[in-house]
């Protein structure tokens, strides 16, 4: 049975925001998938509302791929406190952090949410660009604490 790493993380001990390498999975040909926990909100104390979270997902999904190769997915956690980022064959925490910062800066100046229509999205009515930008701004303001999972 495969282990769900996140279920073994003590969510009462972490101090958001932070960027945490969840794990590395090596395929049979040696390719490596790096999975990150991008935690925006303190678990069980705050969360992102769905429209802003959803728009932030669309914006980051498009924009982070301009700054980082081999992004497999950036997708929201069901608890609405953060996102998972999975990338292929890039072991650099610094590169990921820099790309994430550039992505959030791009979000601040975005004028529309990509793909927020019924052809390209499964819940096109649930979007908010201004909420997404507010979340990005708050996250950027705490950039100093991103590398620290268990402290400020």
Asked whether 82 and 39 are in contact (CB, 8 A), the reply is yes
Of residues 63 and 139, the one with the C-beta less far from ligand HCS: 63
Q: How far is the CB of 143 from ligand HCS (least distance, A)?
A: 22
Q: What is the dihedral of CA 69, 63, 80, 125, to 10 degrees?
A: -140
Q: How far apart are CA 131 and CA 109, in angstroms?
A: 13
In the bound complex, what is the minimum distance in angstroms from residue 58's beta carbon to ligand HCS? 6
Which lies closer to ligand HCS via its Cβ, residue 44 or residue 66?
66
Residues that bind ligand HCS (CB under 6 A): 57-58, 61, 73-75
Please report how close the Cβ of residue 81 comes to ligand HCS at its closest, in angstroms. 16
Q: Nearest to ligand HCS by Cβ — which residue? A: 61
Residues 6+ apart with CB under 8 A from 27: 33
- Residue matched to tokens 């705490």: 142
Which SS3 state, helix, strand or coil, does residue 109 take? coil
Q: Which is nearer to ligand HCS, 16 or 68 (CB)?
A: 68
Shortest CB 68 distance to ligand HCS, Å: 11
């Amino acid at each position: 049975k495969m282990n769900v790493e996140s279920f073994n993380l003590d969510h009462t001990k972490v101090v958001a925001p932070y960027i945490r390498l969840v794990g590395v999975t090596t395929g049979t040909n040696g390719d490596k998938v790096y999975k990150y926990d991008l935690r925006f909100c303190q678990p069980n104390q705050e969360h992102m509302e769905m429209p802003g979270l959803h728009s932030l997902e669309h914006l980051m999904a498009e924009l982070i791929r301009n700054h980082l190769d081999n992004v497999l997915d950036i997708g929201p956690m069901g608890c609405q406190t953060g996102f998972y980022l999975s990338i292929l064959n890039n072991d650099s925490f610094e590169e990921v952090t820099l790309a994430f910062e550039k992505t959030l800066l791009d979000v601040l100046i975005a004028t529309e949410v990509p793909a927020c229509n019924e052809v390209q999205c499964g819940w096109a009515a649930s979007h908010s660009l201004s909420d997404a930008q507010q979340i990005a701004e708050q996250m950027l303001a705490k950039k100093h604490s991103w590398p620290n999972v268990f402290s400020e």
